[in-house]
């Protein structure tokens, strides 16, 4: 069953970085409404994919334009309000998964729920449920260093889903994984997308891109709507 999650929309979004005496136009202004489902962002190295993801997350400030989720303009929120907004609406799955090394798998999944003010009992129950969803109920007490790469990535997905986010941003989440584990991680992201979330995934993998519902090509900072894999290296 799909839920109605708030829509992710960008208007006239661009980013210029200073570079030596000059400037790099990392992202040329573009407008787009992300449809619910899985969007693959593809393009050559240095084309602007990470810049786009960082802007969508509000980690970077746009040079022009804005990012909106459910009509709220992320760009004009102050730092603290933006952090709260992110906690409520976003989940992140990055390749180095950013798990907290001294916390167990279960505690890592609980972490965003603790920040969001859920009671210990409530967050433990939800974290257990999510670890089971990603097939890791047997690894709850493992530290990240005691998990395989694929297991750690699945913990990262469980953590990203903990706050029931509208928007899930993933940067090469299958990049380090063997084919079978990568497929499992992708299936979890697809499941999150088919529930009605907007999942935006950067990938260099043609097979991963082929499984997305929507495609954005980025080349020299220019974003275009693309057929699957047309610009994947």
Ligand X SMILES: Nc1ncnc2c1ncn2[C@@H]1O[C@H](COP(=O)(O)OP(=O)(O)OP(=O)(O)O)[C@@H](O)[C@H]1O
**Taking CB under 6 A as the rule, does residue 150 contact ligand X?**
no
| Distance set, CA 139 to CA 20, 45, 92 (Å) | 48, 35, 21
Of 59 and 100, CB closest to ligand X: 59
Out of 43, 91, 163, 182, the only residue in the binding site for ligand X (CB under 6 A) is 43
Of 39 and 104, CB closest to ligand X: 39
Q: How far apart are CA 128 and CA 106, in angstroms?
A: 7
Q: Mention every residue, 6+ apart, whose C-beta is less than 8 A from residue 98.
A: 92, 156
**Taking CB under 6 A as the rule, does residue 61 contact ligand X?**
no
- As given in the structure block, the two tokens for residue 76 are 């004009």
Cα atoms in the 13 Å half-sphere on the side-chain side of 164: 10
Out of 14, 47, 104, 217, the only residue in the binding site for ligand X (CB under 6 A) is 47
- Residue appearing with tokens 């670890």: 131
**Taking CB under 6 A as the rule, does residue 62 contact ligand X?**
no
SS3 (DSSP) at 102: coil
Out of 3, 46, 73, 230, the only residue in the binding site for ligand X (CB under 6 A) is 46
Do β-strands 198-202 and 37-42 pair in parallel, antiparallel, or remain unpaired? parallel
**Taking CB under 6 A as the rule, does residue 135 contact ligand X?**
no
Q: Least separation, in Å, of the C-beta of 94 and ligand X?
A: 12
* CB of 224 closer than 8 Å to CB of 43: no
**Taking CB under 6 A as the rule, does residue 24 contact ligand X?**
yes
Of 46 and 138, CB closest to ligand X: 46
**Taking CB under 6 A as the rule, does residue 55 contact ligand X?**
no
161-190: contacts with ligand X (CB under 6 A):
none
Q: Least separation, in Å, of the C-beta of 200 and ligand X?
A: 13
Long-range contacts for 59-62 (Cβ within 8 Å, ≥24 apart)?
60/15, 62/13, 62/14, 62/15
**Taking CB under 6 A as the rule, does residue 49 contact ligand X?**
yes
**Taking CB under 6 A as the rule, does residue 217 contact ligand X?**
no
**Taking CB under 6 A as the rule, does residue 48 contact ligand X?**
yes
Q: Mention every residue, 6+ apart, whose C-beta is less than 8 A from residue 201.
A: 38, 39, 40, 41, 170, 173, 189, 208, 212
**Taking CB under 6 A as the rule, does residue 19 contact ligand X?**
yes
Stretch that binds ligand X, among 42-50, 104-112, 127-135, 206-214 (CB under 6 A): 42-50
Give the footprint of ligand X on this chain (CB under 6 A).
Answer: 17, 19, 24, 26, 43, 45-51
């Amino acid at each position: 069953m799909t839920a109605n999650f708030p829509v992710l929309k960008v208007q006239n979004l661009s980013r210029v970085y200073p570079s030596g005496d000059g400037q790099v136009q990392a992202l040329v202004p573009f407008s787009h409404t992300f449809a619910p489902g899985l969007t693959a962002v593809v393009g050559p190295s240095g084309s602007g994919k990470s810049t786009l993801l960082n802007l969508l997350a509000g980690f970077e400030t746009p040079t022009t334009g804005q990012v909106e989720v459910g009509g709220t303009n992320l760009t004009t929120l102050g730092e603290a309000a933006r952090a709260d907004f992110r906690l409520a609406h976003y989940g992140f799955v990055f390749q180095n998964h950013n798990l907290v090394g001294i916390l167990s798998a279960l505690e890592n999944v609980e972490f965003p729920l603790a920040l969001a003010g859920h009671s210990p009992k409530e967050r433990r129950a939800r974290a257990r449920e999510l670890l089971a969803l990603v097939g890791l109920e047997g690894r709850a007490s493992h530290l990240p260093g005691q998990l395989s790469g694929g297991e750690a990535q699945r913990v990262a997905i469980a953590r990203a889903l903990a706050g029931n986010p509208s928007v899930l941003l993933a940067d090469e989440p299958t990049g380090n994984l063997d084919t079978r584990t990568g497929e499992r991680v992708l299936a979890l992201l697809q499941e999150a997308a088919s529930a009605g979330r907007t999942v935006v995934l950067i990938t260099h993998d043609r097979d991963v891109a082929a499984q997305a519902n929507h495609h954005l090509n980025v080349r020299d900072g220019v974003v275009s709507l693309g057929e699957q894999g047309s610009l994947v290296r």
